[in-house]
Chain A
Protein backbone atom coordinates (compact mmCIF):
# COMPACT_ATOMS: atom_id res chain seq x y z
CA UNK A 1 0.00 0.00 0.00
CA UNK A 2 2.88 2.35 0.82
CA UNK A 3 4.28 1.81 -2.65
CA UNK A 4 0.94 2.76 -4.21
CA UNK A 5 0.81 5.93 -2.09
CA UNK A 6 4.37 6.73 -3.16
CA UNK A 7 3.54 6.27 -6.87
CA UNK A 8 0.47 8.50 -6.43
CA UNK A 9 2.80 11.32 -5.33
CA UNK A 10 5.15 11.01 -8.30
CA UNK A 11 3.18 13.10 -10.83
CA UNK A 12 3.05 16.02 -8.36
CA UNK A 13 6.81 15.87 -7.90
CA UNK A 14 7.29 15.64 -11.67
CA UNK A 15 6.08 19.24 -11.94
CA UNK A 16 9.43 20.46 -10.59
CA UNK A 17 11.64 17.72 -12.08
CA UNK A 18 13.33 20.37 -14.25
CA UNK A 19 13.53 23.02 -11.52
CA UNK A 20 11.21 25.35 -13.43
CA UNK A 21 8.89 25.77 -10.46
CA UNK A 22 11.74 27.02 -8.30
CA UNK A 23 13.15 29.21 -11.06
CA UNK A 24 9.73 30.87 -11.47
CA UNK A 25 9.43 31.37 -7.72
CA UNK A 26 12.98 32.78 -7.57
CA UNK A 27 12.39 35.25 -10.43
CA UNK A 28 9.15 36.42 -8.85
CA UNK A 29 10.74 37.01 -5.45
CA UNK A 30 13.78 38.75 -6.90
CA UNK A 31 11.53 40.83 -9.17
CA UNK A 32 9.41 42.08 -6.28
CA UNK A 33 12.48 42.51 -4.08
CA UNK A 34 14.33 44.51 -6.72
CA UNK A 35 11.33 46.79 -7.34
CA UNK A 36 10.92 47.42 -3.61
CA UNK A 37 14.65 48.14 -3.31
CA UNK A 38 14.48 50.57 -6.25
CA UNK A 39 11.53 52.31 -4.59
CA UNK A 40 13.45 52.54 -1.33
CA UNK A 41 16.58 53.92 -2.96
CA UNK A 42 15.03 56.49 -5.30
CA UNK A 43 13.58 59.91 -4.46
CA UNK A 44 9.84 60.31 -4.01
CA UNK A 45 9.25 61.62 -7.55
CA UNK A 46 11.13 58.78 -9.31
CA UNK A 47 9.34 56.57 -11.84
CA UNK A 48 9.65 53.52 -9.53
CA UNK A 49 7.00 55.04 -7.26
CA UNK A 50 4.40 55.37 -10.04
CA UNK A 51 1.52 52.88 -10.07
CA UNK A 52 1.62 52.45 -13.86
CA UNK A 53 5.33 51.53 -13.70
CA UNK A 54 4.54 49.08 -10.90
CA UNK A 55 1.75 47.52 -13.00
CA UNK A 56 3.99 47.25 -16.09
CA UNK A 57 6.83 45.75 -14.00
CA UNK A 58 4.58 43.14 -12.43
CA UNK A 59 2.85 42.42 -15.74
CA UNK A 60 6.15 41.92 -17.58
CA UNK A 61 7.47 39.79 -14.75
CA UNK A 62 4.40 37.54 -14.70
CA UNK A 63 4.32 37.28 -18.50
CA UNK A 64 8.03 36.41 -18.57
CA UNK A 65 7.59 33.74 -15.90
CA UNK A 66 4.46 32.28 -17.53
CA UNK A 67 5.78 32.11 -21.09
CA UNK A 68 9.34 31.28 -19.99
CA UNK A 69 8.31 28.26 -17.97
CA UNK A 70 5.84 27.24 -20.69
CA UNK A 71 8.62 27.40 -23.31
CA UNK A 72 10.96 25.27 -21.18
CA UNK A 73 8.23 22.70 -20.61
CA UNK A 74 7.27 22.61 -24.33
CA UNK A 75 10.79 22.52 -25.77
CA UNK A 76 12.82 20.75 -23.09
CA UNK A 77 10.77 18.78 -20.58
CA UNK A 78 7.93 17.28 -22.61
CA UNK A 79 10.17 15.99 -25.43
CA UNK A 80 12.58 14.44 -22.91
CA UNK A 81 10.47 12.93 -20.17
CA UNK A 82 6.88 13.39 -21.26
CA UNK A 83 3.78 15.51 -20.89
CA UNK A 84 1.43 15.57 -17.92
CA UNK A 85 -1.82 17.48 -17.47
CA UNK A 86 -2.71 17.76 -13.82
CA UNK A 87 -6.12 17.38 -12.24
CA UNK A 88 -7.68 20.47 -10.75
CA UNK A 89 -6.29 21.07 -7.29
CA UNK A 90 -8.33 19.87 -4.39
CA UNK A 91 -7.90 20.78 -0.77
CA UNK A 92 -4.39 19.26 -0.53
CA UNK A 93 -2.50 22.47 -1.29
CA UNK A 94 -4.67 24.50 1.08
CA UNK A 95 -4.13 21.95 3.86
CA UNK A 96 -0.34 22.02 3.27
CA UNK A 97 -0.37 25.81 3.49
CA UNK A 98 -2.43 25.83 6.70
CA UNK A 99 -0.16 23.17 8.28
CA UNK A 100 2.93 25.19 7.28
CA UNK A 101 1.41 28.40 8.68
CA UNK A 102 0.48 26.72 11.99
CA UNK A 103 3.95 25.13 12.37
CA UNK A 104 5.66 28.43 11.54
CA UNK A 105 3.44 30.35 13.96
CA UNK A 106 4.33 27.84 16.67
CA UNK A 107 8.05 28.16 15.97
CA UNK A 108 7.74 31.94 15.79
CA UNK A 109 5.91 32.04 19.11
CA UNK A 110 8.56 29.82 20.73
CA UNK A 111 11.33 31.94 19.24
CA UNK A 112 9.70 35.14 20.49
CA UNK A 113 9.29 33.65 23.95
CA UNK A 114 12.85 32.36 24.26
CA UNK A 115 15.02 34.68 22.20
CA UNK A 116 13.15 37.94 22.30
CA UNK A 117 15.88 40.11 23.73
CA UNK A 118 18.81 38.36 22.11
CA UNK A 119 17.75 38.13 18.47
CA UNK A 120 15.54 41.20 17.93
CA UNK A 121 12.76 38.86 16.86
CA UNK A 122 10.07 41.08 18.34
CA UNK A 123 10.09 43.47 15.42
CA UNK A 124 10.91 41.02 12.68
CA UNK A 125 8.68 38.15 13.77
CA UNK A 126 6.10 38.49 10.94
CA UNK A 127 8.96 38.21 8.45
CA UNK A 128 10.58 35.35 10.38
CA UNK A 129 7.20 33.57 10.52
CA UNK A 130 6.86 33.93 6.76
CA UNK A 131 10.39 32.55 6.29
CA UNK A 132 9.74 29.57 8.52
CA UNK A 133 6.38 28.90 6.83
CA UNK A 134 8.19 29.05 3.50
CA UNK A 135 10.84 26.57 4.74
CA UNK A 136 8.17 24.17 6.04
CA UNK A 137 6.10 24.42 2.83
CA UNK A 138 9.23 23.86 0.72
CA UNK A 139 10.23 20.85 2.84
CA UNK A 140 6.72 19.38 2.51
CA UNK A 141 6.30 20.15 -1.19
CA UNK A 142 9.76 19.54 -2.65
CA UNK A 143 12.51 18.45 -0.24
CA UNK A 144 10.85 15.27 1.02
CA UNK A 145 11.27 13.74 -2.43
CA UNK A 146 14.77 14.95 -3.31
CA UNK A 147 17.38 14.47 -0.60
CA UNK A 148 19.79 17.28 -1.52
CA UNK A 149 16.92 19.81 -1.38
CA UNK A 150 17.07 19.56 2.41
CA UNK A 151 20.15 21.75 2.06
CA UNK A 152 17.84 24.35 0.48
CA UNK A 153 15.45 24.06 3.46
CA UNK A 154 18.49 24.66 5.68
CA UNK A 155 19.55 27.67 3.61
CA UNK A 156 16.04 29.20 3.86
CA UNK A 157 15.93 28.63 7.62
CA UNK A 158 19.48 29.96 8.17
CA UNK A 159 18.86 33.07 6.06
CA UNK A 160 15.63 33.68 8.02
CA UNK A 161 17.45 33.49 11.35
CA UNK A 162 20.42 35.49 9.99
CA UNK A 163 18.11 38.32 8.90
CA UNK A 164 16.34 38.20 12.29
CA UNK A 165 19.71 38.55 14.05
CA UNK A 166 20.86 41.58 12.09
CA UNK A 167 21.13 44.85 14.06
CA UNK A 168 18.09 47.09 13.76
CA UNK A 169 20.17 49.95 12.36
CA UNK A 170 21.38 47.77 9.50
CA UNK A 171 17.85 46.67 8.65
CA UNK A 172 16.56 50.24 8.85
CA UNK A 173 19.41 51.49 6.65
CA UNK A 174 18.80 48.75 4.09
CA UNK A 175 15.08 49.52 3.92
CA UNK A 176 15.70 53.19 3.16
CA UNK A 177 12.33 54.74 2.31
CA UNK A 178 10.61 51.38 1.75
CA UNK A 179 9.03 51.54 5.19
CA UNK A 180 7.38 54.85 4.32
CA UNK A 181 6.05 53.36 1.06
CA UNK A 182 4.74 50.21 2.71
CA UNK A 183 3.61 51.92 5.90
CA UNK A 184 5.54 49.55 8.17
CA UNK A 185 8.50 49.98 10.50
CA UNK A 186 11.97 50.38 8.97
CA UNK A 187 13.19 47.23 10.71
CA UNK A 188 10.35 45.09 9.34
CA UNK A 189 10.72 46.61 5.86
CA UNK A 190 14.46 45.93 5.86
CA UNK A 191 13.98 42.38 7.13
CA UNK A 192 11.28 41.75 4.54
CA UNK A 193 13.37 43.14 1.69
CA UNK A 194 16.51 41.22 2.66
CA UNK A 195 14.55 38.01 3.21
CA UNK A 196 12.72 38.14 -0.11
CA UNK A 197 15.99 38.80 -1.97
CA UNK A 198 17.71 35.94 -0.12
CA UNK A 199 14.85 33.48 -0.77
CA UNK A 200 14.71 34.53 -4.42
CA UNK A 201 18.45 33.95 -4.84
CA UNK A 202 18.21 30.57 -3.06
CA UNK A 203 15.30 29.51 -5.29
CA UNK A 204 17.16 30.59 -8.43
CA UNK A 205 20.31 28.66 -7.45
CA UNK A 206 18.34 25.57 -6.43
CA UNK A 207 16.17 25.68 -9.58
CA UNK A 208 19.25 26.26 -11.72
CA UNK A 209 21.03 23.23 -10.23
CA UNK A 210 17.90 21.11 -10.75
CA UNK A 211 17.68 22.27 -14.36
CA UNK A 212 21.33 21.45 -15.09
CA UNK A 213 21.01 18.04 -13.40
CA UNK A 214 17.84 17.37 -15.38
CA UNK A 215 19.57 18.20 -18.67
CA UNK A 216 22.52 15.97 -17.72
CA UNK A 217 20.42 12.98 -16.70
CA UNK A 218 17.88 13.03 -19.50
CA UNK A 219 18.44 12.86 -23.21
CA UNK A 220 16.78 14.75 -26.03
CA UNK A 221 14.44 12.53 -28.12
CA UNK A 222 16.82 12.21 -31.09
CA UNK A 223 19.68 10.94 -28.91
CA UNK A 224 17.38 8.72 -26.90
CA UNK A 225 16.12 7.05 -30.08
CA UNK A 226 19.64 6.54 -31.47
Chain B
Protein backbone atom coordinates (compact mmCIF):
# COMPACT_ATOMS: atom_id res chain seq x y z
CA UNK B 1 0.00 0.00 0.00
CA UNK B 2 1.24 3.47 -0.87
CA UNK B 3 2.57 5.32 2.18
CA UNK B 4 0.25 8.30 1.63
CA UNK B 5 -2.80 6.07 1.40
CA UNK B 6 -1.69 4.31 4.59
CA UNK B 7 -1.47 7.70 6.31
CA UNK B 8 -5.04 8.46 5.29
CA UNK B 9 -6.17 5.09 6.60
CA UNK B 10 -4.54 5.94 9.95
CA UNK B 11 -6.64 9.08 10.42
CA UNK B 12 -8.85 9.07 13.52
CA UNK B 13 -12.29 8.16 12.15
CA UNK B 14 -14.13 9.65 15.10
CA UNK B 15 -12.72 13.08 14.23
CA UNK B 16 -12.55 12.59 10.46
CA UNK B 17 -16.33 12.73 9.97
CA UNK B 18 -17.00 16.30 8.65
CA UNK B 19 -19.61 17.27 11.28
CA UNK B 20 -17.49 16.04 14.17
CA UNK B 21 -14.37 17.62 12.66
CA UNK B 22 -16.16 20.98 12.68
CA UNK B 23 -17.20 20.54 16.33
CA UNK B 24 -13.76 19.46 17.50
CA UNK B 25 -12.06 22.27 15.56
CA UNK B 26 -14.36 24.90 17.10
CA UNK B 27 -13.89 23.50 20.60
CA UNK B 28 -10.12 23.32 20.12
CA UNK B 29 -10.01 27.11 19.69
CA UNK B 30 -11.90 27.86 22.92
CA UNK B 31 -11.86 26.85 26.55
CA UNK B 32 -15.55 25.97 26.51
CA UNK B 33 -18.68 26.78 24.54
CA UNK B 34 -22.36 26.00 24.90
CA UNK B 35 -24.63 23.88 22.71
CA UNK B 36 -26.27 26.96 21.14
CA UNK B 37 -22.93 28.34 19.98
CA UNK B 38 -22.01 25.06 18.28
CA UNK B 39 -25.47 24.92 16.71
CA UNK B 40 -25.09 28.49 15.41
CA UNK B 41 -21.61 27.92 14.00
CA UNK B 42 -22.17 24.48 12.49
CA UNK B 43 -25.76 25.12 11.33
CA UNK B 44 -26.66 21.56 12.38
CA UNK B 45 -30.04 20.73 13.86
CA UNK B 46 -30.27 19.75 17.52
CA UNK B 47 -30.59 16.01 16.82
CA UNK B 48 -27.58 15.79 14.54
CA UNK B 49 -25.42 17.91 16.83
CA UNK B 50 -26.46 15.85 19.87
CA UNK B 51 -25.64 12.58 18.16
CA UNK B 52 -22.18 13.83 17.13
CA UNK B 53 -21.52 15.11 20.64
CA UNK B 54 -22.58 11.77 22.13
CA UNK B 55 -20.14 9.98 19.82
CA UNK B 56 -17.34 12.37 20.81
CA UNK B 57 -18.20 12.01 24.49
CA UNK B 58 -18.11 8.21 24.21
CA UNK B 59 -14.67 8.47 22.61
CA UNK B 60 -13.54 10.55 25.60
CA UNK B 61 -12.83 13.61 23.44
CA UNK B 62 -15.53 15.94 24.71
CA UNK B 63 -16.68 16.75 28.22
CA UNK B 64 -20.35 17.68 28.63
CA UNK B 65 -21.47 19.66 31.68
CA UNK B 66 -25.14 20.45 32.28
CA UNK B 67 -25.52 23.67 34.23
CA UNK B 68 -27.63 26.81 34.52
CA UNK B 69 -27.02 30.39 33.37
CA UNK B 70 -29.35 32.18 35.75
CA UNK B 71 -32.54 30.14 35.43
CA UNK B 72 -31.82 28.95 31.92
CA UNK B 73 -30.40 25.44 31.43
CA UNK B 74 -27.08 25.45 29.63
CA UNK B 75 -25.00 22.62 28.19
CA UNK B 76 -21.31 23.48 28.30
CA UNK B 77 -18.90 21.59 26.11
CA UNK B 78 -15.14 21.42 26.15
CA UNK B 79 -12.42 19.24 24.69
CA UNK B 80 -10.71 16.87 27.10
CA UNK B 81 -6.93 16.50 27.14
CA UNK B 82 -7.39 13.33 25.09
CA UNK B 83 -9.56 15.26 22.62
CA UNK B 84 -6.97 18.00 22.21
CA UNK B 85 -4.19 15.53 21.68
CA UNK B 86 -6.30 13.50 19.21
CA UNK B 87 -7.09 16.64 17.20
CA UNK B 88 -3.44 17.71 17.11
CA UNK B 89 -2.45 14.23 15.97
CA UNK B 90 -5.22 14.25 13.35
CA UNK B 91 -3.99 17.58 11.90
CA UNK B 92 -0.41 16.32 11.82
CA UNK B 93 -1.35 13.12 10.02
CA UNK B 94 -3.62 14.94 7.59
CA UNK B 95 -0.77 17.33 6.71
CA UNK B 96 1.55 14.38 6.12
CA UNK B 97 -1.05 12.65 3.95
CA UNK B 98 -1.78 15.66 1.75
**Bitwise interface map of A from 1 to 42 toward B, beta carbon under 8 Å scored 1, else 0:** 100100111111010000000000000000000000000000
Q: Smallest Cβ distance from A178 to chain B, in angstroms?
A: 42
Which residues of chain A are within 8 angstroms of B39 by Cβ–Cβ distance?
Answer: 82
Q: Cα distance A78–B91 when bound, in Å?
A: 30
Chain A interface residue bracket vs B: 20 to 34
Question: Is A85's CB within 8 Å of the partner chain B?
Answer: yes
Enumerate the 8 nearest inter-chain pairs by beta-carbon distance, A residue then B residue, closest first: A82-B37, A82-B36, A7-B25, A83-B34, A11-B29, A81-B40, A85-B31, A84-B33
Once A1-B95, A4-B21, A7-B22 are accepted as A-B contacts, the answer to whether A81 and B29 lie under 8 Å apart by CB is no
- Chain A interface mostly: helix
Q: Cα distance A4–B31 when bound, in Å?
A: 18
Q: Smallest Cβ distance from B20 to chain A, in angstroms?
A: 12
Contact A82 B31 (CB under 8 A): no
Contact A12 B29 (CB under 8 A): yes
Contact B91 A82 (CB under 8 A): no
Which residues of chain B are within 8 angstroms of A10 by Cβ–Cβ distance?
Answer: 26, 29, 41
**Bitwise interface map of B from 2 to 40 toward A, beta carbon under 8 Å scored 1, else 0:** 000000000000000000011001101111111111111
Q: Cα distance A9–B26 when bound, in Å?
A: 8
Which residues of chain B are within 8 angstroms of A78 by Cβ–Cβ distance?
Answer: 34, 36, 69
Give B43-86 interface residues, CB cut-off 8 Å to A: 69, 72, 74, 76
Contact A11 B21 (CB under 8 A): no
Q: Cα distance A74–B69 when bound, in Å?
A: 9
| B32 contact from A1, A74, A85, Cβ within 8 A | A85
- Given A8-B29, A9-B29: 12 more A-B contacts, CB < 8 Å: A4-B94, A8-B28, A11-B29, A74-B69, A82-B34, A82-B37, A82-B40, A83-B33, A83-B69, A85-B30, A85-B33, A86-B31
**Residue of chain A at shortest CB distance from B21:** A4
Q: Cα distance A1–B30 when bound, in Å?
A: 19
Q: Provide 20 A-B residue pairs closer than 8 Å at the C-beta atoms, listed in order of the A residue.
A: A1-B95, A4-B91, A8-B25, A9-B29, A10-B41, A11-B26, A11-B29, A12-B29, A78-B34, A79-B72, A81-B40, A82-B34, A82-B35, A82-B41, A83-B74, A83-B76, A84-B37, A85-B31, A85-B32, A87-B30
Question: Is B1's CB within 8 Å of the partner chain A?
Answer: no
Which residues of chain B are within 8 angstroms of A81 by Cβ–Cβ distance?
Answer: 36-37, 40
